[in-house]
Structure 1
Amino acid sequence: MMMPAVSRNALLLGIFAVLCTGAIALVNVLTQPVILQQEQIALQNNINELIKPDRYDNNIIESCFTVVDSELLGDSTPKQVFIAKQYNQPVAALIQTNTFKGYSGEIKLLVGIYADGTVAGVRINSHTETPGLGDKIQTNKSDWIYSFDGTSYQADQDDKWEVKKNGGSFDAFTGATITPRAVVFAVKNTLMYFNQHKSTLFNTAATCGDL
Structure 2
Amino acid sequence: MFSTISRNAYLLAAFAVVCTGSIAIVNEFTQPIIAQQEQKALLRTLNQLIPADLYDNDIVASCFMVTDKNLLGSAEPQHAFIAKKDNRPVALMLKTSTMRGYAGRINLVVGIYADARIAGVRVLHHSETPGLGDRIQTNKSDWIYSFNDKSYEESQESRWEVKKNGGDFDAFTGATITPRAVVFAVKDALIYFQKNKKTLFKHEATCGESL
- Normalised by the size of structure 2, how large is the TM-score? 0.82
Query: 1 CA distance for matches of 2:76 and 2:163?
Result: 31
Counterpart in 2 of 1:92?
A: 91
Counterpart in 1 of 2:72?
A: 73
Query: 2 CA distance for matches of 1:172 and 1:80?
Result: 28
Query: 1 CA distance for matches of 2:35 and 2:98?
Result: 18
Distance change >3 Å, CA 37–CA 179, structure 1 → 2 = farther
Query: 1 CA distance for matches of 2:152 and 2:34?
Result: 33
How many angstroms does 1:43 deviate by? 2.6
Query: 2 CA distance for matches of 1:117 and 1:123?
Result: 17
Where 1:181 maps in the other structure, the secondary structure is helix
Counterpart in 2 of 1:205?
A: 204
Where 2:48 maps in the other structure, the secondary structure is helix
Counterpart in 1 of 2:61?
A: 62
Counterpart in 1 of 2:11?
A: none
Establish whether residue 155 from structure 1 lines up as the match of residue 154 from structure 2: yes
* Residues paired across the two proteins, number: 181
Query: 1 CA distance for matches of 2:173 and 2:97?
Result: 23
Establish whether residue 141 from structure 1 lines up as the match of residue 140 from structure 2: yes
Provide the alpha-carbon RMSD of the alignment: 1.8
How many angstroms does 1:45 deviate by? 2.0
Matched to 2:187, the amino acid is: K
Q: Deviations over 1:27-54 (max 9, x none)?
A: xxx7xx6997776554322101111011
Distance change >3 Å, CA 166–CA 36, structure 1 → 2 = farther
Query: 2 CA distance for matches of 1:71 and 1:39?
Result: 27
Matched to 1:103, the amino acid is: Y
Query: 2 CA distance for matches of 1:50 and 1:165?
Result: 28
Matched to 1:75, the amino acid is: S
Range that drifts further, 201-210 or 145-154: 201-210
The percent identity for this pair of structures is: 61
Q: Deviations over 1:168-197 (max 9, x none)?
A: 110001111000000000000000000000
- CA contact under 8 A between 1:72 and 1:190: conserved in structure 2? yes
Matches within 5 A, 1:21-36: none
- CA contact under 8 A between 1:39 and 1:126: conserved in structure 2? no
Query: 1 CA distance for matches of 2:107 and 2:99?
Result: 9
Query: 2 CA distance for matches of 1:164 and 1:36?
Result: 39
Where 2:104 maps in the other structure, the secondary structure is coil
Runs of 4+ in 1 over 6 A off after TM superposition: 33-38
Counterpart in 1 of 2:174?
A: 175
Query: 1 CA distance for matches of 2:34 and 2:177?
Result: 25
Counterpart in 2 of 1:165?
A: 164
- CA contact under 8 A between 1:133 and 1:175: conserved in structure 2? yes
Distance change >3 Å, CA 38–CA 189, structure 1 → 2 = farther
- Normalised by the size of structure 1, how large is the TM-score? 0.82
Where 1:106 maps in the other structure, the secondary structure is strand
Query: 1 CA distance for matches of 2:179 and 2:102?
Result: 10
Q: Deviations over 1:11-42 (max 9, x none)?
A: xxxxxxxxxxxxxxx9xxx7xx6997776554
Counterpart in 2 of 1:50?
A: 49
Matched to 2:117, the amino acid is: T
Query: 1 CA distance for matches of 2:86 and 2:136?
Result: 34
Distance change >3 Å, CA 107–CA 36, structure 1 → 2 = farther
Counterpart in 1 of 2:186?
A: 187
Higher strand share: 2
How many angstroms does 1:105 deviate by? 1.2
